[in-house]
A and B are shown apart, each in its own frame.
Chain A
Amino acid sequence: MEPLLSVAGLTKRYGGRLACDGIGFTLDPGEVLAVVGESGSGKSTLLSLIAGEVAADAGSVAYRMRDGATRDLDTLSLVERRALMRTDWGFVRQDATQGLRMAVSAGGNVGERLMGVGDRHYGRIRATALDWLARVEIAADRIDDPPTRFSGGMRQRLQIARNLVTAPRLVLMDEPTSGLDVSVQARLLDMIRGLVAELGLAVIIVTHDLAVARLLSHRVLVMRAGRVIETGLTDQVLDDPQAAYTQLLVSSVLAA
């Protein structure tokens, strides 16, 4: 099977410092890849490079479009690229205030992508929004509340609904559970796992929490100082880490 996403030799420097150094991997449809590593290891930069929000110094990102043709994202026009991001991709941010319109109601947040692709029927947009709010366990009577009145966990769930409403095939997630307390984390992870399985999403999830990687991902990429130092199946990497740094990372997890 041809991969959905192929990343090759992605490199980004901030001045003299290397944020990402020649990173390459492939991602199959429906596959969940966790990128783990400590703060400053280049995880979030990698995600921004893939999403095209930061220009890479070298390397390429190729994506298999809905029509089956694999295109280098650099060759897409701005219009195509933005349309792709709005429909076939999702980006769930660590800070929900960056991923949501805080002054717009929950329904408007979910409906924005639909209106962005040309839906002009209020009743339909609202029905779809209600459906998605239910799927991310937000009560229907909160549809007209702005996310400023939502808790941290609800905001993340709303962000997920907002991204999934156009049925994307690839979702990038940047630390979606950080800053939430553990019981809320557990519920959110459970929900993400359910949606990923149900919709057959391909996901790249950046996390410093190995438990999140263990729970959600099929494969793990361990990063340190901008380089991939180990990669493999999740159980394999977490249960039998080969690189010294991965061993340190795995042994640093506190058991409750």
Chain B
Amino acid sequence: MNPPNPAVARATVTVSAGAGYNFAYLDEGTKRMIRRAILKAIAIPGYQVPFAAREMPMPYGWGTGGVQVTAAILGAADVLKVIDQGADDTTNAVSIRRFFTATAGIATTTRTAEATVIQTRHRIPEAPLAEGQVLVYQVPIPEPLRFLEPRETETRQLHALAEYGLMHVKLYEDIARHGHIATTYAYPVEVAGRYVMDPSPTPKFDNPKMDDCPALQLFGAGREKRIYAIPPYTRVRSLDFEDHPFRVQRFDRPCALCGAEDVYLDEVVLDDAGGRMFVCSDTDHCETRLGETRLAETRLADGHTGEAA
């Protein structure tokens, strides 16, 4: 009988220093319940799995679903990135990052490539995701048929029987009213040839990134108590008509800061005289590109030709 080893004792009690919370805030029973829902969601791509969402220390609409999914999958070695509309520096993103720093003591980053878990509100990073990464979406309304069919019993039946004609009624209405499919965000997708899914209010610009993505994509809706998922390398098809095929929006100018083309741009109002600029919505992508440019300029000025100093 040896005296208890203090190091082992510390390792088993996974409380972060001084916080008084279990690792990543949620108790282990809750995390296990959420993980079960996640496993089921992965097994049935695009299917909305009900789960017993907990009250979180933030209001509904601030990402309570995404935070619970993140809390359930985080390990001590994970590196977390949180974005809000593509930005790492907005209130929501900063708060959630600080929340997990405080309750899980994990490392955080703003670099897409360095992160193992990325929680996102309404964007998919511009930098391609890799195997082993997990993208966690915050979802306000998980049911793509909700505004067409108010009855939950009926929408469940429509999903069960794969009766998705109604979804096309919505797209029909768009074309009838605007001459083209005017839905620009929360654009419905068909996952793995079976379930029609709401990709959360991401711009439809990001829809093609979901298709055949090497990273695992998890969706958490806290208020609506639903979890759904797209496993890596899954076929994700945006719904459309034969004579009105799916198209993403294009911008007629590059990012005003980094000059990137083929990225999603935000409009920034500069003054009250109509001045505005269009910049990358993905702040990390923009900064990374700017950093590369600066580095290249510095090297050029210093006479380096590419070898590290």
Chain A residues packing against B (C-beta within 8 Å): 78-79, 82, 101, 104-105, 107-108, 111-113, 115-118, 120-123, 125-126, 143-144
Instruction: Answer whether residue B166 sits at the interface, using C-beta atoms and an 8 A cutoff.
Output: yes
- Interface stretch among B55-63, B85-93, B172-180, B200-208? B172-180
- In the complex, what's the smallest C-beta–C-beta distance from B90 to chain A, in angstroms? 34
Q: Per-residue CB proximity of B139-163 to A under 8 Å, as 1/0?
A: 0000000001000000001000101
Q: Is the CB of A108 within 8 A of B161?
A: no
Residue in contact with A115 in the complex, picked from B172, B175, B240, CB distance below 8 Å: B172
Bound Cα distance A108, B241 (Å)? 14
B241 near A104 with CB under 8 A, answer no
Residue B243 is within 8 A (CB to CB) of chain A in the complex: yes
Query: Are A108 and B165 within 8 A (Cβ)?
Result: no
Contacts of B244 in A (CB 8 A): 122
Do A79 and B176 form a contact, CB below 8 Å, given A101-B169, A122-B243? no
Q: Which of B157, B161, B166, B175 is the one whose CB lies under 8 Å from A112? A: B166
From A82, A101, A118, B161 is in contact (CB under 8 Å) with A82
Could you say which residues of chain A place their CB within 8 Å of the CB of B163?
82, 116
Is B242 an interface position by the 8 A CB rule? Answer: yes
Give 9 closest A-B pairs by Cβ, nearest first: A116-B165, A115-B165, A115-B168, A122-B241, A121-B242, A108-B169, A123-B243, A144-B176, A108-B172
Query: B175 and A122: CB pair below 8 A?
Result: yes
User: Which B residues lie within 8 Å of A123 (CB)?
Assistant: 243
Chain A residue at smallest Cβ distance from B177? A144
The answer for the CA separation of A131 and B163 in the assembled complex, in Å, is 25
Chain B, 219-259, CB within 8 A of any chain A CB: 240-244
**Residue picked from B148, B157, B163, B169, most chain A C-beta under 10 Å:** B169
Residues on A with beta carbons closer than 8 Å to the beta carbon of B166: 112, 115-116
Among A78, A118, A120, find the residue whose CB has the most chain B CB atoms closer than 10 A.
Answer: A120
Minimum CB–CB distance from B262 to chain A (whole Å) comes to 28
Inter-subunit contact A104/B243 (CB<8 Å): no
Shortest distance in angstroms between A84's beta carbon and chain B's nearest beta carbon? 13
Q: In the docked arrangement, what's the CA distance between A67 and B155, Å? A: 30
Given contacts A101-B148, A123-B243, contact A117 B173 (CB under 8 A): no
Nearest B-chain residue to A77, judged by Cβ: B161
When distances are taken between beta carbons in the complex, the residues of chain A under 8 Å from B240 are 120
Task: Give the interface residue-count category, chain B.
Answer: 10 to 19
Using CB atoms, name the residue of chain A closest to B158. Answer: A82
Report the bound CA distance from A111 to B242 in whole Å: 15
Which chain B residues lie closer than 8 Å to A112 at the CB level?
A: 165-166, 169
Q: Given A101-B148, A112-B166, A144-B177, are A122 and B161 also a contact pair (CB < 8 Å)?
A: no
Inside 8 A of B169's CB, which chain A residues have their CB? 101, 104, 108, 111-112, 115
Contacts of A121 in B (CB 8 A): 241-243
User: For residue B148, which residues in chain A have a CB less than 8 angstroms away from its CB?
Assistant: 101, 104
Please name all residues of chain B whose beta carbon is closer than 8 Å to the beta carbon of A82 when the two chains form the complex: 161, 163
Contacts of B161 in A (CB 8 A): 78-79, 82
Residues of A within 8 A of B175 (CB): 122
Residues of B within 8 A of A143 (CB): 176
Minimum CB–CB distance for A252 against chain B, Å: 40
B114 smallest CB distance to A (angstroms): 42
The answer to whether A122 and B172 touch (CB under 8 A), given A82-B161, A101-B148, A116-B165, is yes
Q: Are B173 and A120 in contact (CB under 8 A)?
A: no
CB neighbours (8 Å) of B177 from chain A are 105, 144
Max chain A Cβ within 10 angstroms of own Cβ: one of B165, B177, B242: B165
- Would you call B173 and A108 a contact (CB within 8 A)? yes
Chain B residue nearest to A113 in the complex (CB):
B165
B242 touching A107, Cβ below 8 Å: no
Tell me the B158-201 residues at the A interface (CB within 8 Å). 161, 163, 165-166, 168-169, 172-173, 175-177
Most chain B CB inside 10 Å of its own CB: which residue of A107, A108, A125, A144: A108
> A117 to B165, Cβ gap below 8 A?
yes
- B27-42 CB contact bits vs A (8 Å, 1 = yes)? 0000000000000000
Residue of B nearest to A122 (CB): B241
Interface pair B242/A108, CB less than 8 Å apart: no
Among A82, A111, A122, A144, find the residue whose CB has the most chain B CB atoms closer than 10 A.
A122
Chain B nearest CB from A175 CB (Å) reads 24
A-B residue pairs in contact (CB < 8 Å), sample of 17: A78-B157, A78-B161, A79-B161, A101-B148, A105-B176, A105-B177, A108-B176, A115-B172, A116-B165, A116-B166, A121-B242, A121-B243, A122-B172, A122-B242, A125-B172, A144-B176, A144-B177
* Cα distance A108–B177 in the bound complex, in angstroms: 11
Residues of B within 8 A of A116 (CB): 163, 165-166
**Nearest-Cβ distance from residue B178 to partner chain A, whole angstroms:** 11
Q: Beyond A108-B172, A143-B176, list 14 extra A-B contacts (CB 8 Å).
A: A101-B169, A105-B176, A107-B176, A108-B173, A111-B169, A113-B165, A115-B169, A116-B165, A116-B166, A120-B242, A121-B241, A121-B243, A122-B242, A122-B244
